[in-house]
């Protein structure tokens, strides 16, 4: 019986050329993050369904690939709802499993714990170009550090990694703080209970612009004076650390001075010591959707590429949900698939790849000659050369063209009467 | 709400120390296999349920983690059987997805195609010590090569990789051919239709020995003359290439000479050119369970470790099931988790890891001193040093002991009044 040849809907087979780039990017990320003292861990791809549906994951919880119970636990006669059928699912991010991992292992881990995770996650999103239902995330998280050193090290580590991987692409780190976000709205007279709605509208800034945000706020019934004061405040903010300090002064009625000073200090320090060359901007319109963020939030955008290539922030309340003991936490996630797409689009070739040589031998060569060919290949391989040993095809020209596509730059030919080429 | 802290049943969180070893082993395998001209590919972890249950997977098909249909496709009111509920599942090996991949991509791939895959697979096995429901497999396969060059290169590549990863563990490659296996039984008068049963008994050799196999064959009702001739033949076989050739002569009544000559040739060539130092033995009792093997089969056992650490063979009929066009194929799979276990048990430390230094600064150090500490860390990181920047704890002695456990061998301390340590 002939079977289905295509991958399942929304997922893809990865070809050798892309695989090389993926492995290269992973190694660069891993090596950079290790130099910053992050320790790599891994959790299972499968998580408890109760954990996955615990309201930490926002909309992602609607996109879970759920796994059927097995054996006696599956009783088809007593099914009332979907959740009677499943006991687990594929993880939709690496943050929830990290929280579970930390809750389970904290006693044996250094404090603070600096975690690196690289792994696939799954979301049953509507299939669309360039977005897949299985994709890799690369996260670093610092657990147990309430100071701004966590933010500084996360931003330094991620910008160093991106600077090494994409040295030709300019990028900008935009940074904000949930406290400032809220302070600006409160200062302008938006009521406390309207915060979520205001931020959902503000978050559309990059799509609908200032005018669009202003219009939607007015249409939602907020006071004209609040809206106009808010727009003026947003437009007038300085994007550097001094701008943040000045804004802190303006918000003194609603915001403790330490919040703006903390953010300004992060920006000062990162600017002073960063290895990579990038822009660092305070962005008062940066919201980041996930409800679990509690403080600093940040995002990186890359020139010529719509959308962000990395994002993260502080989430001091999440780990406590598992452990019952509050643990400050801060994380940064690189959009691995986006970086790979940018490199593929740039025609990037992986540096430092060994020489690739094809040894082609004539059909029906005697076995001692073939043994000699393989022996020679083994010697070259020891010296770091990638050697393919293959029988010469009838259409040798076509065969060589195909091998050239695979990166083979040199050919050596072996014939029945001995070595020629 | 406090959530479940443990991983799902039968799966495990991987700690930093094991992660380092896993990454090291993967890199060694990848680099070695690349030098042999293998190209890395990746398929999704999720496969069509119809493919997974197509009778290619033997008993593994009973162990599939099945994934629930989503949205409108899931109709709980019209459920008669399990398969109405699911559309996909987690792959239980890398061979079935490779067949699907090749069927889908053959036109764009070189012939023969040398594939490398490293990835997780899932089996809902009964949980037991040291065996997990998610584990990594590392497979190489050569598709489209009917000659013994495929076997030779697979064995050379795998033994080279194992020799580099475990240089202190002696290992032995045992090799057989399904044709010889069958020929020996036919030659002794076992009926053609009894082959499967005879091999299931023979496969118990390492557990029940010659006497046990002999007893079970007799108990199954086979002719005494057949059984005694079979046992004599099995005991008398020489384990080197010449032994294979002599056996080929004895089996001339039931086996074409080229089968034994082919196997002897593989052994001769491997012995002549191998990089690693290992034993290579013809093993007429080697069966390997999977029904898809059609020719040569092989397995590697390592000194001091029960069970095999790698195995594979030729499966010339499987790809055709997808493509409708027969494609010779041969593969070798390293038992990645077993190798990692052996290294962990040996107290293995990953070579070539950079120096690890912890920079500890006193609490409430002023921000310009802290910036100086971070600047110094950034410089050291550029030079390949792994630097952790952390606040000094009250119990500095305990903190250092913990960091030493994490591999930090050097400490530098920074105090409020300036640099001391």
Per-residue pLDDT tens digits for A209-254: 999 999 999 999 999 999 999 999 999 999 999 999 999 999 999 9
d(CA A269, CA A156): 10
Torsion, CA A333, CA A336, CA A342, CA A344, rounded to 10: 170
Contacts of B168 by beta carbon, 8 Å cutoff, 6+ apart: B346
| Burial status of residue B8 (CB atoms within 10 A of its CB: 0-12, 13-18, 19 or more) | buried
Percent of chain A beyond pLDDT 70? Answer: 98
Smallest Cβ–Cβ distance between B381 and the set A35, A65, A388 belongs to: A35
Q: What tokens were used for B114? A: 């040398």
Residue A37 backbone phi and psi in degrees, to 5: 85, 15
d(CA B320, CA B317): 6
Is the CB of residue B371 less than 8 Å away from at least one CB of chain A?
yes
**Residues in B touching A391 (Cβ below 8 Å):** 145, 147, 149
The three-state secondary structure class of A299 is strand
CB atoms within 10 A of CB A10: 18
Chains A, B: CB contacts within 8 A come to 282
**Residues in B touching A378 (Cβ below 8 Å):** 156, 160, 273-275
Which pLDDT score, from 0 to 100, does residue B373 have? 95
Flag whether A350 is in a domain. no
- Closest residue by Cα to residue A16 from A402, A289, A346: A402
Question: Cβ–Cβ of B322/A2 closer than 8 Å?
Answer: yes
Number of domains comprising chain B? 2
| DSSP label at residue B127 | P
C-alpha Rg value of chain B to the nearest Å: 27
Flag whether B66 is in a domain. yes
Which pLDDT score, from 0 to 100, does residue A156 have? 97
Question: Cβ–Cβ of B14/A74 closer than 8 Å?
Answer: no
- Claim to verify: residue A331 and residue A370 sit in the same structural domain: no
Using the CB atoms, write b or e for B187-209: b if 16+ within 10 Å. Answer: bbebeeebeeebbebbeebeeee
Please give the helix or strand (H or E) that residue B205 lies within, else none. Answer: helix B205-219
End-to-end CA distance of chain A: 45
Inform me whether the pLDDT recorded for A304 exceeds 50. yes
Which pLDDT score, from 0 to 100, does residue B421 have? 46
Residue B346 backbone phi and psi in degrees, to 5: -75, -5
- Claim to verify: residue B403 and residue B333 sit in the same structural domain: no
Q: Enumerate the known binding-site residues of A for L-histidine.
A: 93-95, 123, 137, 141, 288, 292-293
End-to-end CA distance of chain B: 46
Flag whether A6 is in a domain. no
Q: Pick A272 or B72 by higher pLDDT.
A: A272
Cβ(A137)–Cβ(A121) under 8 Å? yes
| Burial status of residue A364 (CB atoms within 10 A of its CB: 0-12, 13-18, 19 or more) | exposed
Q: How confident is the model at residue B72 (pLDDT cuts 50, 70, 90)?
A: confident
- Claim to verify: residue A273 and residue A317 sit in the same structural domain: yes
A270 φψ region: left (φ > 0), alpha (ψ -120 to 50), beta (else) = alpha
Flag whether B8 is in a domain. no
- Claim to verify: residue A306 and residue A168 sit in the same structural domain: yes
Q: Which residues make beta-bridge pairs with A140? A: A116, A332
Cβ(A359)–Cβ(A166) under 8 Å? no
Stretch 246-275 of chain B: residues touching chain A, C-beta under 8 Å = 265, 268-269, 272-275
Question: Cβ–Cβ of A388/B114 closer than 8 Å?
Answer: yes
Which pLDDT score, from 0 to 100, does residue A421 have? 47
- What tens digit of pLDDT does each residue of A23-38 get? 999 999 999 999 999 9
d(CA A286, CA A203): 7
C-alpha A414 chain-centroid distance: 48
Please give the helix or strand (H or E) that residue B360 lies within, else none. Answer: strand B356-361
- Claim to verify: residue B319 and residue B376 sit in the same structural domain: no
Mean pLDDT is highest, among A325-329, A381-385, B22-26, for B22-26
Which pLDDT score, from 0 to 100, does residue B1 have? 54
- Claim to verify: residue B264 and residue B360 sit in the same structural domain: no
- What tens digit of pLDDT does each residue of B244-294 get? 999 999 999 999 999 999 999 999 999 999 888 999 999 999 999 777 899
The residue behind tokens 């909309």 is: A59
Residue B345 backbone phi and psi in degrees, to 5: -65, -35
Question: Cβ–Cβ of A371/B268 closer than 8 Å?
Answer: yes
pTM of the model: 0.93
Q: Which whole number is the average pLDDT over B378-390?
A: 93
Q: Pick B106 or B419 by higher pLDDT.
A: B106
Is the CB of residue B396 less than 8 Å away from at least one CB of chain A?
no
Flag whether A62 is in a domain. yes
The 3 state secondary structure assigned to A224-264 is HHHHHHHHHHHHHCCCCHHHHHHHHHHCCCCCCHHHHHHHH
| Burial status of residue A138 (CB atoms within 10 A of its CB: 0-12, 13-18, 19 or more) | buried
- Claim to verify: residue B244 and residue B365 sit in the same structural domain: no
Inform me whether the pLDDT recorded for B33 exceeds 70. yes
- Indicate the length of chain B as a whole number: 421
- Claim to verify: residue B362 and residue B341 sit in the same structural domain: no
Q: Enumerate the known binding-site residues of B for L-histidine.
A: 93-95, 123, 137, 141, 288, 292-293
Query: Which CATH number belongs to the domain containing residue A381 in this structure?
Result: 3.40.50
Give the minimum alpha-carbon distance from A415 to chain B in angstroms, rounded to a whole number: 16
Q: How confident is the model at residue B2 (pLDDT cuts 50, 70, 90)?
A: low
Q: Which residues make beta-bridge pairs with A308? A: A301
Interface test with A, best of B355, B374, B399 (most A CBs within 10 A): B374
**Residues in A touching B386 (Cβ below 8 Å):** 34-37
Q: Which whole number is the average pLDDT over B120-140?
A: 92
Smallest Cβ–Cβ distance between A8 and the set B16, B44, B275 belongs to: B44
Query: Which CATH number belongs to the domain containing residue A45 in this structure?
Result: 3.30.930.10
Flag whether A336 is in a domain. yes
- Closest residue by Cα to residue B65 from B112, B124, B109: B124
CB atoms within 10 A of CB B26: 16
Flag whether A159 is in a domain. yes
Smallest Cβ–Cβ distance between A37 and the set B34, B133, B386 belongs to: B386
Give the minimum alpha-carbon distance from A385 to chain B in angstroms, rounded to a whole number: 6
Q: What tokens were used for A251? A: 């918000």
- In chain A, the residue whose alpha carbon lies closest to the alpha carbon of B1 is A321
Give the minimum alpha-carbon distance from A406 to chain B in angstroms, rounded to a whole number: 8
**Residues in B touching A275 (Cβ below 8 Å):** 378, 381-382
| DSSP label at residue A392 | P
- Claim to verify: residue B374 and residue B296 sit in the same structural domain: no
Which pLDDT score, from 0 to 100, does residue B353 have? 79
d(CA B16, CA B12): 13
d(CA B421, CA B362): 12
**Residues in B touching A112 (Cβ below 8 Å):** 390
d(CA A297, CA A305): 20
Percent of chain A beyond pLDDT 90? Answer: 75
What pairing do the DSSP bridges indicate for beta strands A329-334 and A305-314? antiparallel
- Claim to verify: residue B163 and residue B312 sit in the same structural domain: yes
Residue A314 backbone phi and psi in degrees, to 5: -95, 135
In the listed set B345, B371, B386, which residue is the last one of a domain according to the structure? Answer: B345
The CA angle B112-B116-B117, to the nearest 5 degrees, is: 135
Domain range enclosing A89: 16-345
- Claim to verify: residue A391 and residue A366 sit in the same structural domain: yes
Is the CB of residue A156 less than 8 Å away from at least one CB of chain B?
yes
Give the minimum alpha-carbon distance from B340 to chain A in angstroms, rounded to a whole number: 15
Is the CB of residue A146 less than 8 Å away from at least one CB of chain B?
no
The three-state secondary structure class of A315 is coil
Question: Cβ–Cβ of B35/A269 closer than 8 Å?
Answer: no
Q: What tokens were used for A12? A: 């893809």
Which pLDDT score, from 0 to 100, does residue A217 have? 96
Q: How confident is the model at residue A321 (pLDDT cuts 50, 70, 90)?
A: confident
Angle at which helix A241-250 crosses helix A178-187, to 10 degrees, equals 40
What pairing do the DSSP bridges indicate for beta strands A134-143 and A329-334? antiparallel
Question: Cβ–Cβ of B124/A386 closer than 8 Å?
Answer: no
- Claim to verify: residue B89 and residue B202 sit in the same structural domain: yes
Half-sphere exposure of B47 (CA within 13 A, CB side): 30
Is the CB of residue A26 less than 8 Å away from at least one CB of chain B?
no
Q: What tokens were used for A297? A: 């939030």
Flag whether A4 is in a domain. no
In the listed set B305, B326, B345, which residue is the last one of a domain according to the structure? Answer: B345
What pairing do the DSSP bridges indicate for beta strands B296-302 and B279-282? unpaired
Q: Which whole number is the average pLDDT over B80-96?
A: 91
Inform me whether the pLDDT recorded for A339 exceeds 90. yes
In the listed set A317, A345, A373, which residue is the last one of a domain according to the structure? Answer: A345
Which pLDDT score, from 0 to 100, does residue A1 have? 54
**Residues in B touching A272 (Cβ below 8 Å):** 371, 375
Q: Pick A304 or B70 by higher pLDDT.
A: B70
């Amino acid at each position: 019986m002939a079977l289905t040849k295509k991958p399942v809907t929304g997922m893809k087979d990865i070809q050798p050329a892309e695989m090389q780039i993926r492995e290269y990017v992973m190694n660069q990320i891993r090596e950079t993050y290790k130099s910053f003292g992050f320790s790599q861990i891994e959790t299972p791809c499968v998580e408890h369904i109760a954990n996955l549906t615990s309201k930490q994951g926002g909309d992602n919880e609607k996109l879970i690939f759920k796994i059927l119970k097995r054996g006696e636990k599956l009783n088809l006669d007593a099914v009332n709802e979907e959740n009677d059928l499943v006991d687990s699912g594929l993880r939709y991010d690496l943050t929830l499993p990290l929280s579970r991992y930390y809750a389970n292992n904290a006693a044996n881990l250094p404090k603070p714990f600096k975690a690196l995770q690289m792994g696939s996650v799954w979301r049953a999103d509507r299939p669309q170009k360039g977005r897949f239902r299985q994709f890799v995330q690369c996260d670093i998280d610092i657990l147990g550090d309430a100071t701004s050193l966590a933010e500084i090290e996360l931003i330094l580590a991620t910008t160093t990694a991106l600077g090494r991987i994409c040295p030709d692409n300019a990028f900008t780190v935009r940074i904000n703080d949930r406290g400032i976000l809220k302070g600006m709205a409160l200062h302008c007279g938006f009521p406390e209970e309207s915060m979520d709605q205001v931020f959902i509208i503000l978050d559309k800034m990059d799509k609908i612009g200032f005018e669009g945000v202003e219009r939607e706020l007015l249409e939602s019934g907020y006071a004209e004076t609040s809206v106009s004061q808010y727009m003026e405040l947003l437009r007038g903010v300085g994007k550097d650390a001094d701008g943040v300090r000045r804004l802190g002064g303006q918000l003194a009625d609603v915001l403790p001075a330490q919040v703006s000073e903390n953010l300004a200090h992060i920006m000062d320090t990162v600017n002073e010591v960063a290895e990579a060359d990038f822009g660092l901007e305070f962005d008062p319109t940066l919201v980041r959707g996930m409800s679990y963020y509690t403080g600093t939030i940040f995002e990186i955008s890359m020139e010529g590429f719509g959308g962000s290539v990395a994002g993260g922030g502080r989430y001091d309340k999440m780990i406590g949900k598992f452990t019952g003991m509050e643990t400050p936490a801060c994380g940064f996630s690189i959009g691995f698939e986006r970086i790979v797409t940018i490199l593929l689009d740039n025609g990037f070739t992986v540096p430092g790849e060994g020489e690739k040589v094809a040894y082609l031998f004539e059909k029906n060569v005697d076995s001692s000659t073939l043994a000699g060919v393989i022996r020679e290949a083994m010697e070259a391989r020891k010296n770091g050369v990638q050697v393919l040993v293959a029988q010469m095809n009838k259409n040798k020209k076509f065969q060589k063209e195909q091998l050239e596509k695979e990166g083979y730059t040199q050919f050596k030919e072996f014939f029945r009467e001995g070595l020629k080429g």
